[in-house]
């Protein structure tokens, strides 16, 4: 109790001094908000983990390092189109996807964060079963994630993506962290 009686007056005087200094210099400025560019060409480079469903009903997943490169165009603050290439972990054979997707974007709070979802088509290559040649098929592509903008043209992105399976081409999934940049 003795410590509280000694510290309380010092803390009170310190708070009073800080508030007086703040009002003397004018209003305290709001934290810096970073709004991303509302339109333009952008690129992404992502790295993370991916997994491939390699057996039909008895799903076994082969996982490992995955990465992607994406180019896109943001038409307005709320939507964009992107196209990309994703290298997946090797299951039985080399697996990859290329996609074209529409991306819906929702800015959060002060605009320095946004959440997005995307969907479109992809060409995927791989094999679901061992000792079977790789097949390339059209599949449905989807994804969702967050972007944290550090500058108007530069941010970090966390996203998850997936594809459906088609024939012997396996379903493929990723969770990646990357960088995005407006050119």
Q: What is the Cα–Cα distance from 109 to 73, expressed in whole angstroms? A: 23
Question: How would you label 141-163 residue by residue, b for 16+ Cβ within 10 Å and e otherwise?
Answer: bbbbbebebeeeeebebebebbb
The count of residues in the chain is 183
Tokens of 45: 């480079």
pLDDT at 13: 46
Strands (E), the chain: 40-53, 61-76, 79-87, 96-108, 113-126, 135-151, 154-163, 172-182
Beta pairing partners, 47 = 67, 177
pLDDT at 126: 84
Complete domains list, the chain, with CATH: 40-182 (2.40.160.20)
Tokens of 138: 């059209």
pLDDT at 1: 44
pLDDT at 59: 54
Q: What is the Cα–Cα distance from 155 to 158, expressed in whole angstroms? A: 10
Neighbours of 14 (CB within 10 A): 10
| Three-state SS sequence of 67-115 | EEEEEEEEEECCEEEEEEEEECCCCCCCCEEEEEEEEEEEEECCCCEEE
Chain segment 91-145, per-residue pLDDT in tens: 667 788 999 999 999 999 888 899 999 999 999 988 777 777 778 999 999 999 9
Q: What is the Cα–Cα distance from 84 to 73, expressed in whole angstroms? A: 12
In the predicted structure, residue 8 carries a pLDDT above the cut 50:
no
Contact indicator for 94, 127 with CB cutoff of 8 Å: no
Residue 149: which residues within 8 A CB-CB, separation 6 or more? 34, 35, 36, 111, 112, 113, 114, 155
Q: What is the pTM of this model?
A: 0.77
Range 59-63 average pLDDT: 65
More confident of the two residues 75 and 169? 75
């Amino acid at each position: 109790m003795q410590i509280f009686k000694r510290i309380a007056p010092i803390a009170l005087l310190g708070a009073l001094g800080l508030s007086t200094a703040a009002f003397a210099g004018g209003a305290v400025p709001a934290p810096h908000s970073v709004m991303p560019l509302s339109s333009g060409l952008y690129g992404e480079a992502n790295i993370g983990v991916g997994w491939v469903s390699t057996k039909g009903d008895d799903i076994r997943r082969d996982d490992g390092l995955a990465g992607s490169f994406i180019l896109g165009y943001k038409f307005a603050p709320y939507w964009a189109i992107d196209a990309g290439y994703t290298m997946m972990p090797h299951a039985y054979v080399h697996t990859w996807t290329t996609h074209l997707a529409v991306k819906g974007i929702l800015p959060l709070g002060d605009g320095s964060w946004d959440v997005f979802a995307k969907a479109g088509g992809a060409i995927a290559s791989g094999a679901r079963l061992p000792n079977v040649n790789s097949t390339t098929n059209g599949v449905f592509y989807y994804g969702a994630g967050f972007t944290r903008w550090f500058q108007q043209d530069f941010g970090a992105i966390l996203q998850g993506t997936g594809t459906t399976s088609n024939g012997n081409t396996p379903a493929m999934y990723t969770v990646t962290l990357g960088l995005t940049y407006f050119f």
